[in-house]
Structures are given as C-alpha cells and as structure tokens.
Structure 1
Amino acid sequence: MEFVIENQHLAVTVKDKGAEITSVIAKNTGIEYIWQADEKVWNRHAPILFPFVGRLKDDTFRHNDKTYTMGQHGFARDSKFSVHERLSDSITFILAPNGDFKDVYPFLFELQLTYQLFESQLSVSYKVKNLDTKKMYFSIGGHPGFNVPLTAGETFEDYYIKMTPETSRQRLLLDGPYLAPEKTVEVEQNRFPLQRDLFLNDAIIFKTPEPTTVTLASDISEHGVTMSYEDFEYLGIWTKPQKDATYVCLEPWCGLADRSDSDGELERKTAIQSLEPGNKRYYVHRIDFF
C-alpha cells in the first residue's frame, strides 16, 4: 500500500513494503526527483538498509557459535512495515520482530521510520530499539536514488556532487563487493563532476566523521538535491555505470560491507553498531529539494 504526505511544496509517496519512498514531486515544477525503479536497470527507489549495510562475506555471519544467512543490505527493505502515525505532512512506520526474523537475525528489535516535511525539505528519522535481554548488533543506512538528469535538455555528465565542509576525507576501497582490508586513500577533492567510469568498481565510499552536507546539482540548471546529516559515519555514492542508469544514490550509512578477510564474527564486524538491552538510538538525515 502507498501513502502520500504533502505540503505546499512537495508531494511524497511512501509504501509500507520497506517503508520506502517511491516518489517526491515538486508542486511548482512537476519535477520527479526519485528514480522510478526500472526493472531492467535497478528495481528499487530508496531502500532502508537494516540490520546490515552492504554484503556479508559468503552472505553469512556468526553469533554465539551459530551461523546465520542474510542477503545484501538486510531484510528491512523487503519487509512490510505497519503505519504507527499518519498526518498530512508526516508518517511513521514500525517494523517489529516476528518469528521469521529470528531465523536470520538473533535479536528482538523495533525499527521506526519517520518521514516529515518542512517546506521543501524531507526529514528522514530512524529509531532502533533493542527489545532483547542481550546486547544487539546492527548496521543502518539510507539508499535514496535521485533522477539524473532532472530536466529535459540535460545529461548525466552535466551534474556534479559537492561535499561540505571542504576538507580531506578518507575514501574506503572495495575488493569486489567487500571492503578491501586496510585500504584507504586520502582525498582532497570536494567536488566531483559525474562520469560513468567513477562507478566501474561499484560505490564510492567516504568516511564522514563530521556533520556533512552533500549536494547533487547541475551546471546548467537550478535544480538538484542536498542531503545533510550529523548521525552517520559514512557516505556511499552509487549508480550503475551503464548509460540507462539515469540516477545517483546518496547513501548515509552507519555500517559497512564485510571486509574481504572477515572472519564472520558479528561482534568483530567492521563499523558495527551496538545497543544494550532496552536502549534506543536515533539517526536523522534531511533532504532539500530545489
């Protein structure tokens, strides 16, 4: 089922499967900002990544001497959420534990997603609560895909990505679908013209320990998006390198794919988050559409 929240600036459609945004339309221009999930290219819009970000080595992990199997990015993106609260300009979804999850993830949890509009900005809030009697381990992240180009007469290569503050950042390198062990490079560049060959080796991943703003915009028009956050430790930038992949994903993460030399033990997973019993944690990112 799909739900619409709106104000005088934006109309946002979200579905209960995966609590996933499927559309953001600017009312004054009619521009659709969200990738429309072409089955032949990439069949998602803006999936929620939980309880893992990226790929587990051999699609498995171990906890308390038991091995579990889980696919890339976890199960939240394919799970049906319930609507907890719905107003004209906001909606909150909840994913609660059930028997199916216990077979693949050994913790009782509650995941809450809130989408709220503030003029031309969409706030995306995540709340993770540990309902279990033991420490819970998890990762979480967003994966919104934005149309590129946004308007007629533009091309993919007319766009750029700009990150602020202007500072050097660590870029994490990949070894196939996994993190390359101990391999990072220091990047001074803060503005990246979009080119297909940037994504030949999958996502571009930066460590972002400070509050970060990333803008996707064009050199020849006034439209784009800006994402800002304080609560996420990494940023993934991704699209497929083929020409019909007319989108770019800006992905705030607390968590990473396994390293290629991972031993599979959950407690030692790179960038893993943890919560003590009864505790909860909030993560927020904001997207401005212009």
Structure 2
Amino acid sequence: MEFVIENQHLTVTVKDKGAEITSVIAKKTGIEYIWQADEKVWNRHAPILFPFVGRLKDDSFRHNGNTYTMGQHGFARDSKFSVHERLSDSITFILAPNGDFKDVYPFLFELQLTYQLFENQLAVSYKVKNLDADKMYFSIGGHPGFNVPLMEGEAFEDYYVKMTPDTSRDRLFLEGPYLAADKTVAVELNEFRLQRDLFLNDAIIFKTPEPTTVTLASDKGEHGATMSYEDFDYLGIWTKPQEDATYICLEPWCGLADRSDSDGELERKTAIQSLEPGNKRYYVHRIEFF
C-alpha cells in the first residue's frame, strides 16, 4: 500500500513494503526527483538498508557459534512495515520482530522510519531499538535514487556531485561485492562530474566522520537535491554504468560490506554498530529539493 504526505512545496509517496519512498514531486515545477524503478535497470527507488549494508561474505555471518544466511543489504527493504502515525506532512513506519526474522537474524529489535516535510526539505529519521536480552549488532543506511537528468535537454554527464566541507576524505574500494582489505586512500575529491566509467567497479565510497552535505546539481539547469547528515559514518555514491541507468544514488551509511578477508564473525565485522539491551539509537538525514 502507498501513502502520500505533502505540504505546499512537495508531494511524497511512500509504500509500506520496505518503508520505501517511491516518489517526490515538486508542486511548482512538476519535477519527479526519485528514480521510478525500471525493472530492466534497477527495480528499486530508495530502499532502507538493515540490518546490514552491502554484501556479507558468502551471504552469511556467525554469532554465538551459529551461522545465519542473509542477502545483500538485509531484509528491511523487502519487509512490510506497519504505520505507527500518519499526519498530512509526516508518516512513521515500524518494523517489529516476527518469526521470519529470528531464523536469519538472532536479535529482537524495533526499527522505526519517519518521513517529515519542512518546506522543500524531507527529513528521514531512523530509530533502532534493542529489545533483546543480549547486545545487538547491526548496520543501517539509506539508498535513495535520484533521477538524472531531471529536465529535458540535460544529460547525465551535465551533473556533478559536490561534498562539503572541502576536506581530505578516506576513499574505500570494493573487490567485487566486498570491501577491499587494507585499501584505503586519502583523497581531495570534493567535487566531480558524473561519468559512467566511474561506476565500473560499483559504488564510490567515502568515510565521512564529520557533518556532511552532498549536492547533486547540473551545469545546465537549476534543479537538483542536497543531502545533509551528521549521524552517518560513510557515503556511497552509485549507479549502474549502463546508458539507460538514468539515476544516481546518494547513500548515507553506518556500516559497510564485509571485507574480502572477513572471517564472518559478526562482532568483528567492519564498521558494525552495537546496542546494549533496552537501548536505542537515532540517525537522521535530510534532503532538500530545488
């Protein structure tokens, strides 16, 4: 089922499967900012990544002597959330434990997603609560895909990504679906133009320990999107390198794919988050559409 929230600037559609944004339309211009999930290219819009970001080595992990199997990016993106609260300009979804999860993830949890509009900005808030008697391990992230180009007469290559503050950042690399072991390079790459060959090896990944703003914009047009966050440790930038992949994903992450040399033990997983029993943690990113 799909739900609509709106204000005087934006109309946002979110579905209960995956608590996933499916549309953001500017009322003044009629621009659709969100990728419309072409089945032949990439069949998602803006999935929620939980309880893992990226691929587990051999699609499995171990905890307390038991082995669990799980696919890329976890199960939240394919799970049905319940609506906890709905107002005209905001909606909150909850994913609570059930029998299906216990077979693949050994912790009791509650995941809450809130979407709230503030003029031409959408705030996306995540709350993870540990309902288990043991320490809980998890990763979490966003994966919104933005249409590129946004306007007729523009091309994919007319767009650029700019990160602020201007600073040196660690860039991480992938080997296939896994994080390359011991391959991190400090780079001064605060702005770059979109080119297909940048994504031949999958996502571009930066460590972002400081509050970060990422802008997607065009030299030829005046429309784009700006994402800002303080609560996420990494940024993934991704699209498929083929010509009909007319989108770019800006992905704030707390978590990473397994390293290529991972031993599969959950407690030792790179960039893993943890919560003590009864505790909760909040993460927020904001997207301004212009």
The two structures share one fold, judged by TM-score above 0.5: yes
SS, match of residue 103 in structure 2:
helix
Q: TM-score, normalised to structure 1's length?
A: 1.00
Q: Which residue does 2:216 correspond to in 1?
A: 216
Structure 1 CA distance for aligned equivalents of residues 88 and 18 of structure 2: 20
Shift of 1:85: 0.1
Query: Could you say which residue in structure 1 is the equivalent of 2:288?
Result: 288
The answer to whether residue 251 in structure 2 is matched with residue 233 in structure 1 is no
Q: How far, CA to CA, are the matches of 2:90 and 2:182 in structure 1?
A: 42
Shift in Å, 1:2 = 0.1
Q: How does 1:99-248 map to 2 (within 5 A)?
A: 99-248=99-248
Question: Partners in 2 of 1:241 and 1:24 — Cα distance?
Answer: 24
Greater shift, 181-190 or 268-277, is seen at 181-190
**C-alpha displacement of 1:122:** 0.0
Q: Indicate the RMSD between aligned Cα atoms, in angstroms.
A: 0.3
Question: What are the residue-to-residue correspondences of 1:75-94 with 2, within 5 Å?
Answer: 75-94=75-94
| Counterpart residue number, 2:21 | 21
Corresponding residue for residue 63 of structure 2:
63
* 1:7 matches 2:7: yes
How big is the shift at 1:116? Answer: 0.0
**Amino acid in the other structure paired with 2:220:** I
Q: Provide the secondary structure at the position in 2 that maps to 1:104.
A: coil
Q: CA deviation at 1:190?
A: 0.7
Deviations 1:211-231 (A, max 9, x none): 000000000110000000000
Listed one character per residue, the Cα deviations across residues 88-146 of structure 1 (whole Å, up to 9, x for unaligned) are: 00000000000000000000000000000000000000000000000000000000000
Distance apart, 1:174 and its partner CA = 0.7
Q: Secondary structure at the match of 1:180?
A: strand
Shift of 1:31: 0.1
Distance in 2 separating the partners of 1:146 and 1:225: 8
Q: What is the rounded CA distance, in whole Å, between the counterparts of 2:34 and 2:173 in structure 1?
A: 27
Structure 1: 4+ residue segments shifted above 4 A: none
Q: Aligned partner of 1:58: which letter?
A: D
Amino acid at match of 1:84: H
The CA distance in 1 between the partners of 2:45 and 2:276, in whole Å, is 32
TM-score computed with the length of structure 2 as normaliser: 1.00
**How many residues align structurally?**
290
The alpha carbon displacement at 1:76 in A equals 0.1
Q: How far apart are the structure 2 equivalents of 1:255 and 1:187?
A: 20
Q: Give identity over the alignment, percent.
A: 90
- Distance, in Å, in 1 between the alignment partners of 2:155 and 2:12 is 25
Mind listing any 5+ residue stretches in structure 2 that lack a counterpart?
none
